[in-house]
Amino acid sequence: HLRERDGYAPLYSDFDNFYIRRLQLRINDCFRRPVTGVPGRFITLLDRTSEDFNLSFKLTGTTTETLNMSSYNYLGFAQADGECADAAEQSIRKYGISFCSSRADIGTSDLHLDVEKLVANFVGMEAASIHSMGFVTNASVFPALVGKGCLLISDQLNHASIRFGARISGSVIDMFKHNDMMDLERVLRERISQGQPRTHRPWRKILVAVEGLYSMEGTMCNLPGLVALKKKYKFALYVDEAHSIGALGPRGRGVCDYFGISPSEIDILMGTFTKSFGANGGYICASKAIVDKIRVTNAGTIFGESPTPAVLTQIATSLKIIAGEIAPGQGEERLQRLAFNSRYLRLGLKRLGFIVYGHDDSPIIPLLLYHPAKIPAFSHEMLKRKISVVVVGYPATPLISSRVRLCVSAAHTKDDLDRLLAACDQAGDVLQLKFSSGIAGGA
């Protein structure tokens, strides 16, 4: 073993890393909670001893069923029964658990080809490629598209997977202030001219990357503004729809559907199946030429395992339900329930006097706690009331903008949300979280 006294730093020694410090500070009661069962309307937590919050916690052998406000189960497709689960079970009987190969070798089945067609159709693009993980989709597709001599301009609050892919692509990276179109235009002007005559463009490609719906903020990208700038400055636009596909727009088809903008205005619509579809993996939708290029150049697909049978069937079945091809009316009902629940909870929290971030139609509702010490305290207050929530702090947010991120689902009933509002009301009093006497009724 390398030893400190020999002049080597032990591998675990990064005390400057926030996450490690947090473990040392033992405030991770609210993080890494082990669960059992389906992450649906309710979620079952495994109880653990309170005297040992560390990763080596001891399980007590008992469980607690909680109202689940933590999973990205926007349309309620995370369930162990119903059309999706039945189809997935049959799929395992026919194909087994894994294809035991990458897409590039012997891991492309008829299921993959069907799902790619379905996804391209649903998103409204010419072609789609699917990948076994959302994170890896971003991490390996940016290097497949841009590299040396290219400029990648990223929203300041883009997800870690986008930042990861951007960095390993080798492009020059610049950022603009979150959702600020004036700042994006400033970056474009500065980077395109760079003191050169207007006719010279010093970049092989320019790619602007944003998210459809930002999961820490609940904000929606300014798609009309981005499309206008794209026309003016001639860059390619990449939109990560991890949280917006299936969750936004009258037909659940994401931000283009929401804003009434044709998907053909955007170069790449990326998304994940881990949220609205209750499945796993990611996709890229684009022109056939771009998708073909990605298939043969992205390392994740070439060297990684292909998406698995049950997952593919879950994606296909949930997609067909949303599109009304299976169980007519059910998809529409789920979308309407999600839209109602999102607005109902947001308005209820505002009425109680909480500060919440984001767009009125966002199913992610960040409720501000501000002080980092209130992170475990809020989580604890909720657990006392048998509600599980995700709390977020530095470095995922600025130090004094700690927050709870409530994830609304079509699976929640109005009674569930009323129960949550009552719990927040009480916890808000205990932790002094309310910053006003609430907005006037009807506002």
What stretches of 73-121 adopt beta strand conformation (E)?
Answer: none
Contact 211, 159 (CB under 8 A): yes
Structure-block tokens of residue 238: 């990449």
Q: Is the dihedral of CA 392, 372, 20, 64 positive or negative?
A: negative
Q: Which CB, 241 or 381, lies closer to ligand PMP?
A: 241
Distance CA 111, CA 231 (A): 37
Q: Which is nearer to ligand PMP, 161 or 306 (CB)?
A: 161
| Distance from C-alpha of 358 to C-alpha of 393, rounded to nearest angstrom | 17
* Residue 211 vs 267, nearer CB to ligand PMP: 211
In the complex, the smallest distance separating the C-beta of residue 164 from ligand PMP, rounded to whole angstroms, is 10
- Give the list of residues 6+ apart from residue 371 with CB closer than 8 angstroms, or none: 400, 402
Return d(Cα 408, Cα 381) in angstroms, integer. 19
Residue nearest to ligand PMP (CB): 134
Smallest separation, CB 21 to ligand PMP (Å) = 23
Nearer to ligand PMP, 133 or 389 (CB): 133
Say how far residue 413 (Cα) sits from the centre of its chain. 23
* Binding interface with ligand PMP (CB under 6 A): 133-135, 138, 159, 161, 211, 215, 240, 242-243, 272, 274, 282
Q: Tell the smallest beta-carbon distance from residue 136 to ligand PMP (Å).
A: 7
How far is residue 16's CA from residue 328's CA, in Å, rounded to a whole number?
Answer: 54
For residue 85, the SS3 value is: helix
**Cβ atoms of residues 54 and 24 within 8 Å:** no
CB 72, CB 275: distance < 8 Å: yes
Closer by beta carbon to ligand PMP, 135 or else 233: 135
Whichever of 240 and 267 has its CB closer to ligand PMP, that residue is 240
Interaxial angle between packed helices 110-123 and 309-322, expressed in degrees from 0 to 180 and rounded to the nearest 10 = 30
> Between residues 322 and 433, which has the closer beta carbon with respect to ligand PMP?
322
**Shortest distance (Å) from residue 312 CB to ligand PMP:** 15
Q: Please, which residue, 76 or 300, has the CB nearer to ligand PMP?
A: 300
CA separation for the pair 14, 285 (Å, rounded): 39
Query: Are residues 386 and 64 in contact, defined by beta-carbon separation less than 8 angstroms?
Result: yes
Nearer to ligand PMP, 252 or 282 (CB): 282
**Cβ atoms 138, 282 nearer than 8 A:** yes
Give the nearest distance from C-beta 138 to ligand PMP in angstroms. Answer: 6
Under 8 Å between Cβ of 123 and 117: no
Task: Judge whether 261 and 253 are in contact, CB under 8 Å.
Answer: no
Q: In which residue are the tokens 């603009």 written? A: 176
CB of residue 53 vs ligand PMP: minimum separation in angstroms? 25
Minimum distance from residue 90 beta carbon to ligand PMP (Å):
24
Query: What separation in angstroms does the CA of 265 have from each of 121, 228, 238, 419?
Result: 16, 10, 11, 43
Cα Rg, the chain, nearest whole Å? 23
Strand partners, 68: 388
| Residue (245 or 367) nearer to ligand PMP, CB | 245
